[in-house]
Amino acid sequence: MKIGRVIGSVVCTKKVDSLEGVKLLLVRPLNENMEEAGPPLVACDTVQAGRGDVVLFEGGREAAMALKNWFNPSDATVMGIIDQVNRE
């Protein structure tokens, strides 16, 4: 899993049927120091995350499997909201 920050949402007037009703978020990947680590990506939301939330997301086939209709073209899916990060 990867860490990212939700920086916005994506609105689509048309989607493939397998993504109908799925909220799409714009997520900026973060590194282990919580610094930006790459360009934003669009991720399906399974946990009702919102702007500013730090989230766990997965890519690849695992991203598609997390949705109700697992036969979909998702490349990234938010699977958790991070409440706190403790580093030593």
- Position with higher pLDDT, 67 vs 34: 34
Which residues constitute the domain of residue 20? Answer: 2-81
| Full-model pTM | 0.89
| 87 inside domain | no
CATH of the domain at 16: 2.40.50.220
| 76 inside domain | yes
Cβ distance 9 to 26 under 8 Å? Answer: yes
| Overall number of domains in the chain | 1
| 32 inside domain | yes
| 36 inside domain | yes
| 86 inside domain | no
CA distance 81 to 47: 7
CA distance 9 to 11: 7
Model pLDDT, residue 9: 96
